[in-house]
Amino acid sequence: MAKFNLNPVKALIASIILIIAISGSLIFYYNAKVNELNREILTLGNKLDRVNENLKSDISSLNQNLTSEIDLVDSDLRNFKMRNKEEINTLTGLIDEIEKQSEIQLGELRDDLKSIQVKSQDFTAIIDDVIQSVVSVGTNKGLGSGVVIDSRGFIVTNYHVVEGASIIRVLTYSEDVYNTALIGYNDVADVAVLKVDASLPALRFGDSDDVRVGEKVIALGNPAGLSFTVTEGIISAVHRKGPNDLPIYLQTDVPINPGNSGGPLVDANSEIIGLNNFKVSGLEGLGFAVESNTVKDIADDVIAQYLQSQ
């Protein structure tokens, strides 16, 4: 058998070449694996990016939907509160209106009841209310009567009761005394308007055009200094004319004596239908009162001018 002898140098070179070849193969294999791993990492990163983007999109969409739902619920809640408030306000208004109508109807019913009582019996049903608005008018010239026509303290009386007086005071039914001022008058109609600084119960005017002959009436005043006297009678005639055809009077058989002048002539509805003025001397049951429509027109003009001047 032949014996193969290898030169040591050649053997070393061959070994180095073999090592290099093996190392290159290992390096190539390692690089291939690294590249493959990098590709997988890149693919995984792309998938994670897509998942992240999808997740962000889903979250954004969810937020939008949730915000929209919250806004819708909030809008519905506001609308409900608004409707509820409107319904409460409407209901409150209806209740207030019902209460007002009820008060009006109750007031009308009370007035009708009093009127029925007066027409069927006497005036006792209304006197307690009416007399609260009657006043005694005292001056340094004499004594008369008056009636409150406005709760702000406006009073009407006859002009001749206060004509030329330097001192005028009124005494109320509750025994309060007030200094008063003459703020205006019509001497032809013999109507004067006074003002006191007090809030007083007032009577309302009736329509004297509706007064009928034979209708029951009462006169309130202070005849002969007898404070807050009430006398009863009927209307004897309407639209009687005085000097210069003015003013227009109601004729009544209610006794009118000194001190009665300026007091109210009141009907069954607790309304002023006349202002007691005078009687024919020497004759009984022949008294006259200035019709309420004339008194009201004069008083309204005087009060309006007075308020404008304040």
Instruction: Show which residues are catalytic.
Output: 160, 190, 261
Range list of β-strands (E), the chain? 134-139, 143-150, 154-157, 168-172, 177-179, 181-186, 191-195, 216-221, 229-241, 248-252, 264-266, 272-279, 287-291
Residue 288 corresponds to which amino acid?
A: F
**CA gyration radius, the chain:** 53
The DSSP secondary structure of 127-150, one letter per residue, reads HHHHGGGEEEEEESS-EEEEEEEE
For residue 247, is the peptide bond before it cis, meaning its omega torsion is within 30 degrees of 0?
A: yes
User: In this structure, what token pair is assigned to residue 167?
Assistant: 């001192």
Element (DSSP H or E) covering residue 256? none
User: In this structure, what token pair is assigned to residue 195?
Assistant: 């003002």
Q: Is 115 helix (H, G, I), strand (E, B) or coil?
A: helix
Start-to-end C-alpha separation, the chain = 156
Residue 157 corresponds to which amino acid?
A: T
